[in-house]
Amino acid sequence: MWSALHGDPAVLPAAERSLARAPFGSGAARAATLHIRPERGQDTFEASIVADLKDAVSRYPADGRLQRLVRELRAESEVFAHHWATRTTAAQHTSDRKTIRHPEAGDIHLDCDVLVVPGADLRRVTYTAATGSSDAGKVDLLRVGARTAAPRPCPAASWP
């Protein structure tokens, strides 16, 4: 369903598959998420990503790949660098309402919940639509299509 909604992440280069690259990078990961609009605002989402990275860095200070990711994002994105320098408290991303602009189904309004396993590096993102809504119908159509469709690239549609 993730691929049906967002496009197949396997088509992204491996280095672009970090969620942190979506709001702060300039490559394929960013292009793949330009079709998502969080109701609580992009700044809140960005702050939660930075908080998650700060938490990871504090737990894994010797992880070279993690350190490299933070260095690259600080150099590439002024917004990331600002959040990194100013955000000191965790702003964990747990729920939001998002509008996803899908290339075939149009705008889909979904509740997004991030389930976090305490003490683990596991997060599960779930999207739900109100029962009986047109958004639920769109998700059902995507679910049926996902069973038969070939993988498609992540969409690069953005907001007007």
Tens digits of residue pLDDT in 47-66: 888 988 898 898 899 999 99
Which residues neighbour 120 within 8 Å (Cβ) at sequence distance 6 or greater? none
CB 51 within 8 A of CB 91: yes
pLDDT at 133: 96
Which helix (H) or strand (E) segment holds residue 107: the answer is strand 106-116
pTM for the model: 0.76
Q: How confident is the model at residue 148 (pLDDT cuts 50, 70, 90)?
A: low
Both tokens of residue 129? Answer: 């639509």
Q: What percent of the chain has pLDDT over 90?
A: 34
Phi-psi region of 106 (alpha: psi -120 to 50; beta: other; left: phi over 0): left
Tens digits of residue pLDDT in 94-112: 788 999 989 889 999 999 9
Q: How confident is the model at residue 82 (pLDDT cuts 50, 70, 90)?
A: very high
pLDDT at 30: 75
Residue that has been written with the tokens 């396993």 in this structure = 117
